[in-house]
Amino acid sequence: MKIAEIPATNLDAKEFIRKRAREIAETVGDGSAITAVSGGVDSSVVTMLGHMGLGDKLKACFIDNGLMRQDEPQAVARIFRRLGIHVEVLDARKAFFDALKGIRDPEEKREAITQTFYKKVFGSLFKGIGARFLLQGTILTDVEETVAGVKRQHNVLEQLGIDPQEAFGYRVIEPLLQLRKDGVRKVAKALGLPVTVYKRMPFPGPALAARVVGEASPERIELVRKATAIVEAELRGSKAFQYMAILHEDRFAGMRDGKRDFGMQIEIRCWRSIDARTAKPVWLAPRTLQSLARRLTADVPGVVSVTYNIATKPPSTMEAV
């Protein structure tokens, strides 16, 4: 089934909100629903719509999969507390790292995260609560890229022929399916979400696991988490669409204290883009690049080399794996 796009320019945000909140209420009826908040604009908007439609019948969870950025679970819960919505942080780190152990192929990593998320963690959560619906923030670009085979988005299920009711025991509601990122941002603003949410950078479903080449072990995730904190602190003022740190698996010659030190490389990407379909690198100032390289080699243990991505999407993609 072809999804009818609602372009951001044609979007009446207030009307969209009213309509979707009502639809959610009608679909869920007397039951209850769960939403997984990630801190991203898509899931935040869905949580707000769900809250409007369902009130206390919506349970908002933040699944701490161990792959999130520094202090992210607490920061997200704090934002929603201010909006009057309680977000419960569930510690699922062990389940995810167990599932990711020894996996190096990017598609297998994504699949391990999808399965752990929908089947293991959510499966038992739904059973515990007796909820029958999952609200999630899938957008049109996610579906298109997954169906086209560019990138398997973790939240795309039915379009791949997966029946969540049958596979996981609950139904999925996707109120943002007709929007792209710019449309979602417009709705977020109209919902009164803080600017830190509706202007928040896109962050991938597999989180920091998408930012390491090769195995996403707890140790490697910790390294890329440190690098991500540095890159985000340095580039916060850049007005870029998205910026990130990627930990490579290749090793490179380096030297410390006059001795050979065969170490790691961090790649930085900083994109200009409107809707994520195409993107170009931002040409950062030399002093910014200098500062990034200095901090990453000084503060991330074992890093001897830092690069900046200069290709465009296409033929690159915005995320590395």
Residues lying near its own copies in the complex (CB under 8 A) are found at: 106, 148-151, 213-214, 248-256, 258-263, 267-268, 281, 283, 286, 289-290, 292-294, 297, 304-317, 319-321
Least spacing, CB of residue 288 vs its own copies, in Å: 10
Q: For residues 176 and 292, which CB has a smaller minimum distance to its own copies in the complex? A: 292
- 273-296 burial, b if ≥16 CB within 10 A, otherwise e? beebeebebbebeeebbeebbebb
Q: Are residues 238 and 268 in contact, defined by beta-carbon separation less than 8 angstroms?
A: no
Least spacing, CB of residue 259 vs its own copies, in Å: 6
Least spacing, CB of residue 53 vs its own copies, in Å: 36
Query: What is the distance between the alpha carbons of residues 281 and 243, in angstroms, rounded to a whole number?
Result: 10
Least spacing, CB of residue 320 vs its own copies, in Å: 5
Of the candidates 115, 129, 108, 113, the residue with the CA atom closest to the CA atom of residue 65? 113
Q: Which phi-psi region, left, alpha or beta, contains residue 128 (left: φ > 0; alpha: ψ -120 to 50)?
A: alpha
Q: For residues 82 and 287, which CB has a smaller minimum distance to its own copies in the complex? A: 287
- The angle that helices 106-115 and 93-100 make with each other, rounded to 10 degrees, is 150
Query: What is the distance between the alpha carbons of residues 186 and 226, in angstroms, rounded to a whole number?
Result: 32
Cα-trace Rg, the chain: 20
Q: For residues 81 and 294, which CB has a smaller minimum distance to its own copies in the complex? A: 294
Please tell me whether residue 67 adopts helix, strand or coil conformation.
Answer: coil
Least spacing, CB of residue 271 vs its own copies, in Å: 13
Please tell me whether residue 197 adopts helix, strand or coil conformation.
Answer: helix
Least spacing, CB of residue 262 vs its own copies, in Å: 8
By DSSP bridging, strand 263-272 and strand 280-281 are antiparallel
Query: What is the distance between the alpha carbons of residues 65 and 78, in angstroms, rounded to a whole number?
Result: 18
Per the structure block, which two tokens stand in for 302?
Answer: 């074992």
Please tell me whether residue 155 adopts helix, strand or coil conformation.
Answer: coil
Least spacing, CB of residue 176 vs its own copies, in Å: 23
Please tell me whether residue 201 adopts helix, strand or coil conformation.
Answer: coil
